[in-house]
Amino acid sequence: MMSTVYGTDQENLLEIRNLSIRYRTRRGELRAVEDATLLVKPGESVAIIGESGSGKTTLISAIVRMLPLNARLATGTMRYRTAADSLVHLDTATEREMRPLRWKEIVMVFQASQSSFNPVSRIYTQFLDTARAHNPAARTSDVMDRSRKLLELVALDGEKVLHSFPHELSGGMKQRTLIALGLLLEPRLIILDEPTTALDLLTQKKILKILRSLRDQYRFGMVFVTHDLGIVSRLADRVVVMYAGSIVEDAPWEEFYQDPKHPYSQGLIRAVPKLTTAIEKLYSIPGTTPDLVEKIQGCPFAPRCPFRMEICTRENPPLLPVALGRSAACHLLKEDSSESTP
């Protein structure tokens, strides 16, 4: 499976290159995302992990250009290949150009999907609204039939849910309804921001199972943000680690889990509780994330890094390949690779 994703020369579905995003704040410009490069192939699912405030949500919101008003794209490009095989420059697209892409090509499911539906109208209205926004001629009966099928696909009683008001559905049902709504227009890229937060464990498991089977069935690309490595292992082909607005490691999940390269990634993996280790021995990365308003000299992780070297406080390491299909941003790895390959 993994080799089909990585071994072929498939064209990228989404190409984000050297993207920087800034927020205007009272204290000055906040560097939410710094020089981020992220490539997603059709059908591939990528997990973005990292601490709160590391720029994960900002990065994925930028893809559909739904950033807060005080944000701006400072540098970089974002290109998306549509179903009709034309390239769209997402970074320069206007709101008018973005509208047809949203939900038809790229579905973005924001966090807190518990209140994603208009509380005063029934679910079917919101399916119809979505279909009509992209195809004014859509026939009601066709949309209803398709909606019902999709709801059944996520293990819901289609007819009943369609005629319900949002408040009549439970949290898990709402999340599944939103996923069904996400598939309504057969998008090629689905972006999810913490798809299972605020749900209980059993519901989480159910949602993950549904997402997996849907992905296998419809072959859409997926980018999702999570704090939970368990979800990553169930859903992701590839992991992108973000720290203080920068991507510090990008690797296939299996390899990443076995052998995380970046010291921050190693800390993340060690911080995961395992059945075989005592909870008291659980690792936690010392220190806190840096203030993103202030100019960071050197590697942003340096103050917390156990392997800090002299160069780390001076120069910010770029994201460079460290193995086939893997890259990381660390001075340590650069030296390693130069030593091991004489």
Partner 1 sequence: MIGKGSLPVFIAGKLLKVVFTVWIVTTLIFFLIRLMPSNPIERYIQSLVVQYGMTYEESSARASALFAIDLEANLFSQYLDYLSGAIRLDFGTSFLSPGVPVTAIIAARLPWTLFTVGMGLLFAFALGIVLGALAAYRRDAWWEPVVSGTSSFLSAVPDFLIAIFLILLFGVFTWGGRGSIVPIFQLRGNYGPGVTPGWNWAFLRSVWGHGFVPILTYFFSQIGIWVLLMKGSTTSCLNSDYATIARARGLRPEKILRSYIGRNAMLPIATEFAMRLGFILGGSLIIEQLFVYQGLGLELLKATSNRDYPLMQAIFLVMTVAIVLSNLFAELLYGVLDPRIRQEGKGPHG
Interface contacts to partner 1, rule CB under 8 A: 64, 66, 69, 99-104, 107-110, 112-121, 129-130, 133-134, 165, 167-168, 178, 181
Containing 123, the helix (H) or strand (E) segment is: helix 123-134
Cα separation, 199 vs 171, whole angstroms: 7
Question: Vertex 332, ends 330 and 32: CA angle to 5°?
Answer: 15
The nearer residue to partner 1, 67 or 207, going by C-beta atoms, is 67
CB atoms inside a 10 Å sphere around CB 6: 15
Give CA separation, 189 vs 78, 108, 147, 156, 186, in Å. 14, 9, 19, 23, 9
* Phi, psi (rounded to 5 degrees) for 35: 55, 50
Min dist. Cβ of residue 78 to partner 1 (A): 16
- Contact (CB, 8 A) for 10 and 221: no
Min dist. Cβ of residue 72 to partner 1 (A): 14
Min dist. Cβ of residue 159 to partner 1 (A): 17
Min dist. Cβ of residue 107 to partner 1 (A): 8
For 165-183, give one letter per residue: b (16+ CB within 10 A) or e.
Answer: ebeebeebbbbbbbbbbbb
The nearer residue to partner 1, 176 or 331, going by C-beta atoms, is 176
The nearer residue to partner 1, 117 or 243, going by C-beta atoms, is 117
Min dist. Cβ of residue 128 to partner 1 (A): 11
The nearer residue to partner 1, 117 or 124, going by C-beta atoms, is 117
The nearer residue to partner 1, 78 or 330, going by C-beta atoms, is 78
Residue type, 76: G
Residue type, 202: L
Which of 46, 41, 3, 109 is CA-nearest to residue 236? 46
The nearer residue to partner 1, 44 or 193, going by C-beta atoms, is 193
Min dist. Cβ of residue 213 to partner 1 (A): 23
